[in-house]
Amino acid sequence: MASSDDDLDVLQLSAEAQKALKEFYEEQNEKLLSSCDNEKVVTDVKFDEDWQLSQFWYDENTCNQIVECVHHTVGSNSTVALISCPTLYKTFKEKIPTISIKLFEYDQRFSVYGSDYVFYDYNDPMKFDKNLLNSFDLVVVDPPFLSEECLTKSLLTTKSLTRKHVILCTGEIMEELAIKLLNVHKCSFEPKHINNLANQFACFTNFSSTLD
C-alpha cells in the first residue's frame, strides 16, 4: 500500500483533530479487544483505510493471487511475515490457517490480531524481537510510501526476516531501486486496490512463481 506525495490531495489534520482521531481508534481497539477471547484471533473485523498512514487495501483477487503464490511456494506449514500489507492477513487465515503469520504493521488497530501482530515503524527498521531474525520462509512487503528511504529501510527489515523468498508490492517507479537492493524481477501479475491508485503498481519477487 503506497502513495507518492502528489498521489492524493489528502487534507492535513490539525493537531487537535489528529489527537481526537487517535483517541477514537484507541477506543475502538479497546472495544474490539474486550469483545474477543484472548486465545482467539479476530479475522472478521473490518478496518477502514487511513490515508494519513498511506493505507490502500488490496482487492479480493489480489489477496487471493498472492496467498495462492505463497502456498504454492512454501507450503501450508510455513512461516510468513507480512510487512505493511495487513489486508492479506484475513485471506491467509481463511484459506490456509495452518500457515504461521506475523503482521508487521505501524497501525495499532491491528493489535487485535494478538500475538500475530508486531508493531513496526520503517523509520526504525530493526526494532523488533531478535528471535524473529531469519525465521520466515517468505516475506511479503508493501512499503507505505514511494520513496527511496522507505523502500530501503523496509527491505532492510525484509532481508533480516526472510530465509529466502520475498514478494514485493510497490509502485512501478521503484523498480530500479528494488532490483538494486534485492535482486528481484518484475512479475506479470499487477496488484490492484479497492480504491484505484494513480500510480502504476507492480509486483516483484526474487524467485520464479505463479505471479510471473
Single pTM value for the model:
0.79
Residue 147 pLDDT > 50: yes
Residue 67 pLDDT > 70: yes
Give one DSSP letter per residue of 184-195, joined into a string.
Answer: -EE-S----BSS
Q: How many residues does the chain have?
A: 212
Residue 101 pLDDT > 50: yes
Asked if the structure places residue 119 within a domain, the reply is: yes
CB-count exposure of residue 125 (10 Å: 0-12, 13-18, 19+): buried
Q: What is the mean pLDDT of the chain?
A: 86
Instruction: Give the pLDDT score at 8.
Output: 42
Instruction: Give the pLDDT score at 196.
Output: 73
Residue 19 pLDDT > 90: no
Asked if the structure places residue 153 within a domain, the reply is: yes
Band the pLDDT of 38: cuts 50, 70, 90: very low
The CATH code of the domain that includes 169 is: 3.40.50.150
CB-side neighbour CA atoms (13 Å) of 37: 4
87 pairs with which residues across the strands?
none
Give one DSSP letter per residue of 118-130, joined into a string.
Answer: EE--TTSTT-S-G
Angle between helices 87-95 and 60-74 (to 10 degrees): 60
User: Considering its fold, how many domains does the chain have in total?
Assistant: 1
Asked if the structure places residue 44 within a domain, the reply is: no
Nearest to 84 by CA among 101, 103, 63: 103
Asked if the structure places residue 107 within a domain, the reply is: yes
Asked if the structure places residue 176 within a domain, the reply is: yes
Strands 117-119, 136-141: pairing kind:
unpaired
What's the Cα-to-Cα distance from 49 to each of 33, 77, 109, rounded to whole Å? 20, 30, 11
Asked if the structure places residue 36 within a domain, the reply is: no
Asked if the structure places residue 20 within a domain, the reply is: no
**Range of the structural domain that residue 74 is part of:** 53-205
Asked if the structure places residue 13 within a domain, the reply is: no
How far is residue 19's CA from residue 24's CA, in Å, rounded to a whole number? 9
E-only strand ranges, 44-186 = 79-83, 100-105, 117-119, 136-141, 162-171, 185-186
> Which one is predicted more confidently, 167 or 200?
167
